[in-house]
Structure 1
Amino acid sequence: MAQELGTLAQQTADRLAEKHVGVVVAAVAEDVVEIRGAGSTGADDGRTPGPDTLFEIGSVTKPFTALALARLASTGRAGLDEPLADLLPAGTSVPSRDGRQISLQHLATHTSGLPRLPRGMLLPALLHPSKPDPYADCTADALLAGLARTRLGAVPGKRFRYSNLGAGLLGLALARRAGTDYESLITLEICAPLGMTDTVVTLGGARSRRSAQGHARRGRPVSPWHLADLAGAGALRSTATDLVAFVRAQLDGGPEELAEAIRLSRSVEHRTSPFARVHLGWMAHRLHPRQGAHLQIWHNGGTGGFSSFVGFDPEKRLAVIALGNTSGRPVDRPAFDLLRTLQQERASEPN
């Protein structure tokens, strides 16, 4: 099984490397893990990225933020239905609609009614070459001042509307409740119990030397993104090794101190269609019966120089991770294809 898994991971990495400067692909089947790289980190030595190469993971940060919420909720330090306003500085004006306040669960399931981006930010600005770090000015003061002038597009809890602003506010609010900063919150509540030592917001020392260089769509090196106080929406950097530990906790239930939080994060759901739903931090869908009716839970991400994907099937204990150091070229399709191949092979095995 390991040999076949390694071959499939390498084939996916090679496929992705046709459009990315460099990639790493991890495939997990129960207790077997295979990690393969292709292309280049973009560093001066031109080495191939590997299990311990750090990538910006963009919105794959959001499942971490949501799991931190579940962790605080499962230990009685926050409530899923608790209003966002209760975790922000006194006097902060938080929009509501039809008398319904935004709760922490609304933020984690993208049902808050908040817009995708903070007030004053336009989507084209994220790709503008003269603005290499479009979120750099998203300080807490700026976010909360803009929040006071924001109108909700729907009654909280009613409609799915993907929101970087909402996820960033959730990270900010949880860090305030825990009396720390976002990076320390994730380290203490999630990374430490899982033995993840390379999932960070800030780089330094040896990690900098192990980091891939980000690239624009056509291969031009670009500057890193720093999301300031919107960190909960997409500021984490990580490795394939760490993300394997993260996803295996989803497959196995995790260590004792995280088990209840993992169960809680997946028990909460908001239906977006007959086949799709959103959990705390995760998207999920079940394939059509003609495609095997397999369950796929996932999240993808992208920054100015990177693309990422994490997907898994808890029923068959399978997972796929893909990390690339080129923006504008999603790794999703080859990663989904690999996950589906693993699911089909598992379904065809004799009982």
Structure 2
Amino acid sequence: MPLPVLQTTSVLYRRILSHFPQDISLAFAYGSGVFRQSGTTQGQMGNNMLDFVFAVDDPVTWHTMNLMQNRKHYSFLKYLGPRQISNLQGNHGAGVYYNTLVPCDGRVIKYGVISTDALIEDLHHWKTLYVAGRLHKPVKILVQDESVRLCAALGSNLKSAVTAAFLMLPESCSIEDLFVQIAGLSYSGDFRMLIGEDKAKVLNIVKSNMPHFHNLYGSILQECSQVVYKPQQGKLEVDKSPEGQFTQLMGLPRNLQQEITRLVDPPGKNRDVEEILLQVAQDPDCGLVIQQGISSIVKSSSLTQSAKGIMTAGMLKTVSYSFKKLMKMWKGSRRKSS
């Protein structure tokens, strides 16, 4: 069953996709050029860069074909060839290779390439939370194959986002509070939120896209035994008992559990994960521990991926892209103060 997000038959997106090799297991568009955020107009959206991610089964073959079709998209790394590009993609940063500020069909686009296996690992285990975090928020699915592994991983990622958010929320909260918590997971610990992003970004994403968030998470909330879901009132009541929190902690992705263990377990003790999570479940600061664990994952992957981006984009594009991000942040702060 395909991921329950907004589908699109937009001619523009199909035209853009036609410029690339078609061996793609998952393709989606995301970001402010695709979904409106509070404070932006339709006209402003039309000027924003369009962001894409392509998951491919065989990165070496895909980059080989893409270098033949779209050689100008690549920085100086094109001279190293598809195998080295693929190695850089998979072995450094968050497993994604980005080409940015690419003119395509009258728009400027950025696209990231990730191997299907790396994507599935991130979705299940939150190894980097880089692409998994983007898929916590509404996206436009353009291509999705019928792989059972991929479908299961996409669903697992959404359930994990809900579980992590429950642990950081109070017992009673609004649906909007939940969606803001979920949307903020992949920004927690991201250094770019300090220097290159609008500080109100998370709230803006949620406020303008509540129906899309309901579409993503409504059925999960209806089926979840850890929460009393009251959609008509827009309210939630989360099980905050130690037993309930322990169940939620045991349902978190493996890499986050390991980060929590590292934060809580003193060196040399070497207790098992279940024993540590049982302790955290009874801690009044349980939510803070989860927040710190997520921040640790995101901080590491955002730093290494951004460093890799300087190489994959080239210095001129990096300076141009960074300047545009800073301008967006400045405009956002002006809107907030006015």
TM superposition score normalised by structure 1: 0.24
TM superposition score normalised by structure 2: 0.25
Structure having the higher helix fraction is: 2
